[in-house]
Structure 1
Amino acid sequence: MLTSLSDQSLAALDAPVTVDRDTSVVREREKVERESLSDQTVWMLAVRDNRDRVAFGRLFDYFAPRLKGVICRSGMSPSQAEDVVQDVMLTVWRKAAMFDPERAQVSAWIFQIARNRQIDVIRKERRPVPEELKLPEETQEDAAQVLALDQETQKLRAALRRLKPAQREMVEKAYLGELTHSDIRDQTGLPLGTIKSRIRLGLERLRHELKEQGLT
């Protein structure tokens, strides 16, 4: 019976996580709108923004049995389905920064990850992909939204590369390295005022770049 992540999977939650894009403006807006969101979306945002293990546990408890049921109906054995669910939920944890509630519902986002993982497993076994795993018309838009997120991530990385080196270093440490300003000061020896100024200027430049590309 699938009730929680395996010990090995739990250990993987402590692995460093790379946040691929600056979403400060979007996240401020989400704070205001959060009261109207579903419980599952609130949990997902807590995982994305705060690496909240309690929220992740709730996501797991909610989605794991549903995912297992869908996967078993596609022809996989219960034990194989449990392995897929473990992989899917770890991917949810690791790629939480990619989730945007304005582009896809959390259920659609997670089930798309599960579908892709199922297809990978089936193809490795050289079996034909079941009809039920082929995208129904109503989920095509959600799949396109997931693809759009990947494309936006690539554009953000390009925008980061165009920042001045000093600004890029501070932004990457603060947002990709998830360091506090004090942590950055301890690492670099720079005054807090300099660190904050470089981050502010870097974010302003990033927002300008992304606005020109229609991403903000």
Structure 2
Amino acid sequence: MVQTQYFSDLIVKVAVDRDKAAFVELFDHFAPRLKGYLMKQGADAAIAEEIAQDVMVTLWRKANLFDPRKSSASTWLFRVARNRRIDRLRRQKTSELDPDEPLLQPAPLPDVSEEMDARLREERVREALGKLPEEQREVVRLAFFLGQSHSEISESTGLPLGTVKSRIRLAFGRLRQLIEADEAVDVD
């Protein structure tokens, strides 16, 4: 307990007086212990050394953040070391992304001919929808443009469920005929 208080007092001296002798004593005591701790956590010697030194630099710069009422000097320093190691691992994972990963590649530019075909199909469907009887066009609009279920269409229109299903089936049959007739005209 006496040693714990002693190290806490040294950190306070660094915080208040920028006491270099106190810092050297803290460094000599904690740097090798932090390095050993980090190596036990899986860091190689060079990285453990680098993180331990970074922790000690943090001690020098931010000693004023240490509160001896909340934790001991060793608890505070080892927590900083642990957090630095976690931060390093996160950065390492981010930097290890494969630049050739398909998910990281930009989407290919759309094929102009495919876009034109899609626009033509869309135009044909709109024209064919316009040729449907109003009652069929309305149930198709409710089902496919507003996403209503057959039951919801039945409730909102007051039509029996069987009538809704029949109108949708008839509408699709008619749409198929109109679109196929339109495509046949384009081929000729």
After TM superposition, the score normalised by the length of structure 1 is: 0.41
- The structure whose residues are more often helix, as a share, is 2
More relative contact order, 1 or 2 (CA 8 Å, 6+ apart): 1
